[in-house]
């Protein structure tokens, strides 16, 4: 699914708008295990995953690496601290598969919103979806057991288990790799 087709699902794009988009969108191909953004980096671009998988993770002071979330094809991604607050990213973004990523700069994004107000609609829609997902995530972490969270993930994104190592999934669920392994062995 490429960005343009994706956008057309939600908003109508006139030929002029499409031309504008084509001018500002950068399409890049990255190999597996490529680091897109590192902690401390200013990365003020809005990305869209056309193909592949990005892992966003956090390095604690003790050096432990914890997956914040996975971003799969057909989704928008930003280094929030940079894109929203113009601050250095706290998180690392890396590809876990060969990936195709389209992106536009923050400045171009702002211009786009000003010149084509129909994108405002979409912008809000994307933020709403993000808020919805985050709320579910918070409640899951707050009052579900590790096993329940595992079952939910299995339900909602079964394919992730074929694509990502269990260590990364464990830290995403907020548990150790060994605990995840034991949960899985009991069924």
Partner DNA sequence: TTTGCTTTTTGACTTTTGTCAAAGACTTTG
Partner DNA sequence: CAAAGTCTTTGACAAAAGTCAAAAAGCAAA
Torsion of CA 72, 126, 137, 163, to 10 degrees: 0
Edge-to-edge order in the sheet of strand 35-37 = 35-37, 92-95, 53-59, 65-72
100 part of the interface to DNA, by CB under 7 A: no
Q: Which residues contact 133 (CB under 8 A, 6 or more apart)?
A: none
Among 163, 174, 177, 179, interactor with a second copy by CB under 8 A: 174
In 3D, which of 150, 41, 56 has the Cα closest to residue 95? Answer: 56
Binding residues for DNA, rule CB under 7 A, total 18
Q: Which residues contact 100 (CB under 8 A, 6 or more apart)?
A: 27, 28, 29, 30, 49, 50, 51, 52
65 part of the interface to DNA, by CB under 7 A: no
Place of tokens 């702002």: 110
Kindly write out the interface string for residues 45-74 of this chain, putting x where it contacts a second copy by CB under 8 A and - elsewhere: -------------x-x---x-x-x------
What is the distance between the alpha carbons of residues 149 and 112, in angstroms, rounded to a whole number? 39
141 part of the interface to a second copy, by CB under 8 A: yes
Sole window of 5-13, 25-33, 153-161, 168-176 interacting with a second copy (rule: CB under 8 A): 168-176
Among 132, 145, 178, 184, interactor with a second copy by CB under 8 A: 132
Nearer to a second copy, 116 or 137 (CB): 137
Q: Which residues contact 173 (CB under 8 A, 6 or more apart)?
A: 146, 149, 150, 153, 180
127 part of the interface to a second copy, by CB under 8 A: yes
Sole window of 47-55, 73-81, 100-108, 175-183 interacting with DNA (rule: CB under 7 A): 175-183
User: Least distance (Å) from DNA to the CB of residue 101?
Assistant: 21
Which of DNA, a second copy, none binds 181 (CB below 5-8 Å, type-dependent)? DNA
Which of DNA, a second copy, none binds 176 (CB below 5-8 Å, type-dependent)? DNA
Binding interface with DNA (CB under 7 A): 145-147, 165-167, 174-185
């Amino acid at each position: 699914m490429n960005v343009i087709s994706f956008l057309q699902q939600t908003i109508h794009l006139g030929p002029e708008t499409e031309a504008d988009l084509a001018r500002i969108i950068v399409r890049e191909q990255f190999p597996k295990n490529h680091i897109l953004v590192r902690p401390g980096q200013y990365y003020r671009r809005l990305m869209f995953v056309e193909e592949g998988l990005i892992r966003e993770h956090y390095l604690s002071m003790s050096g432990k690496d914890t997956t914040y979330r996975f971003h799969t094809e057909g989704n928008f991604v930003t280094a929030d601290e940079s894109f929203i607050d113009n601050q250095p990213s706290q998180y690392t973004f890396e590809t876990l598969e060969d990936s195709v990523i389209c992106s536009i700069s923050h400045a171009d994004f702002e211009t786009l919103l000003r010149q084509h107000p129909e994108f405002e609609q979409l912008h809000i829609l994307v933020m709403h979806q993000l808020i919805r997902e985050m709320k579910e995530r918070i409640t899951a972490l707050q009052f579900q057991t590790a096993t329940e969270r595992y079952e939910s993930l299995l339900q909602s994104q079964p394919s992730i288990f074929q694509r990502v190592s269990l260590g990364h999934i464990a830290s995403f669920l907020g548990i150790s790799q060994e605990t995840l392994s034991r949960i899985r062995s009991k069924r």
